[in-house]
Structure 1
Amino acid sequence: MKLFSLIDAGLFQIEKTIVSSCMLIMAVILLASVLCRHLNIVMVGGEEIAQFTVVWLTFCGMALCARQGNHILMSAVLDTISMEKRKKLITGICLFTGCFCLLLAIYSFQLTQSVFTRGQVTPALRIPIWYMYAATPVGFFLTGIYYVGGFFKNLTHKGIYYGLEKPE
């Protein structure tokens, strides 16, 4: 159990690092791109790097939100039902969403594998496209794991868990 906690803590740090790094890189690249355009300087590849960071930010951010239970909720529906029914509903939603994300992880892995075998690269920087596509199976897999973890946490703990970390 201690090994799982260490892996979980390390994974959380990696996710936070990826998300914050992507935000910082994206901001710097886009700012530099605007400045270069204003000064009539050609900046090669800025949009490609920004595109990569947006994709990684989206899918790693999705996993981070699922872990922390920060996804959008239909609270208008949840507020009208009892706590017992709410817990059952959230538990079912966590299971369904987790399984669906794991299924999407499989499909996106197959898509990434297909792009990898074709050897596609970006036009300006010649970066393999599959680096960008790899964000989807990683993000969906982690999101699925976190939602399934939330499902089990709801089964074994008191309170309502929207993710691994956030009880109601």
Structure 2
Amino acid sequence: MSENSPDLEDDTGTYDSGLPGFLGTIDVFISKLEAVMLAAGVLLMALNTCANVISRFLLQQSMFFTGEVNRILIILITFAGIGYAARHGRHIRMSAIFDALPVMGRKVLMIIIALFTSAVMFFLAYYSYEYIVTLAGRGRILPALGFEVWIIYVWAPIGFTITGIQYLLTAIKNFRSPDVFLSTSVRDGYADTESEV
């Protein structure tokens, strides 16, 4: 990692949240879990799609469950991905006003943004949980795989909760640190890519 890089990953790609004790342990555990879920989801979707193409080509018949499996994997990747993006400061943001502020102004604004976004994520987690309870009460079944529909949406409240925790940890990190952080592992600023060449 170069001195100018805002990211806190080391040269081996090991994630370090920089948070002390129990908070840091939780953050690193969630980071590893998200990485495994995203990698497994993308690989399984690619394998499932390729197997379906081969089946159609060789047997002139699609695998009947491919669409449902890919639907489940897309939901998994989407909701695991929002926490991952928050952890690495990769969400889209409008930064014209933010970048024009002095350091203390950016720090205060980042704490407000992180706390507000965390509250919104927990709100969405609650309502997605309520939606799952409603679906479970209806007893709908996936036609090809044969299990209840609500099971595939479990990733929504989990993803929203993990993202809410991530933004809450970002607010805590900004309270504790003299620097401004976009996430627990990404400092505010731009990497100087020209000096690294």
TM-score by length of 1: 0.91
- Point out the structure with max Rg over C-alpha: 2
The alignment status of 1:52 with 2:83, answered yes or no, reads no
Work out the CA distance in 2 between the residues paired with 1:18 and 1:83.
Answer: 36
- The answer (yes or no) to whether the contact 2:53–2:62 under 8 Å persists in 1 is no
Deviation at 1:76, TM superposition (A): 2.9
Matched with 1:17 is 36
Q: Percent identity?
A: 30
Task: Sort the Cα spacing of 1:4 and 1:148 in 2 relative to 1 into closer, same or farther, 3 A.
Answer: closer
1:17-166 mapped onto 2 (5 Å cutoff): 17-39=36-58, 40-166=60-186
More helix by share: 1
Work out the CA distance in 2 between the residues paired with 1:135 and 1:37.
Answer: 30
Deviation at 1:117, TM superposition (A): 2.5
Question: Over residues 48-82 of structure 1, what are the superposed CA-to-partner deviations in whole Å (9 max), with x where a residue is unaligned?
Answer: 00010000100011011112222122233322222
Question: Over residues 27-47 of structure 1, what are the superposed CA-to-partner deviations in whole Å (9 max), with x where a residue is unaligned?
Answer: 111122223233412311001
RMSD: 1.7
Task: Sort the Cα spacing of 1:89 and 1:4 in 2 relative to 1 into closer, same or farther, 3 A.
Answer: closer
The one-letter amino acid paired with 2:84 is L
How many equivalent residue pairs?
168
The alignment status of 1:167 with 2:187, answered yes or no, reads yes
Partner secondary structure for residue 100 of structure 2: coil
Deviation at 1:120, TM superposition (A): 1.8
The one-letter amino acid paired with 2:52 is S
Deviation at 1:149, TM superposition (A): 1.2
Unaligned runs of at least 5 residues, structure 1 = none
Work out the CA distance in 2 between the residues paired with 1:3 and 1:80.
Answer: 35
Partner secondary structure for residue 79 of structure 1: helix
Unaligned runs of at least 5 residues, structure 2 = 1-19, 189-197
TM-score by length of 2: 0.78
Deviation at 1:3, TM superposition (A): 4.3
Deviation at 1:167, TM superposition (A): 1.7
Task: Sort the Cα spacing of 1:5 and 1:75 in 2 relative to 1 into closer, same or farther, 3 A.
Answer: closer
Shift >6 Å, 4+ stretches: none
Deviation at 1:4, TM superposition (A): 4.3
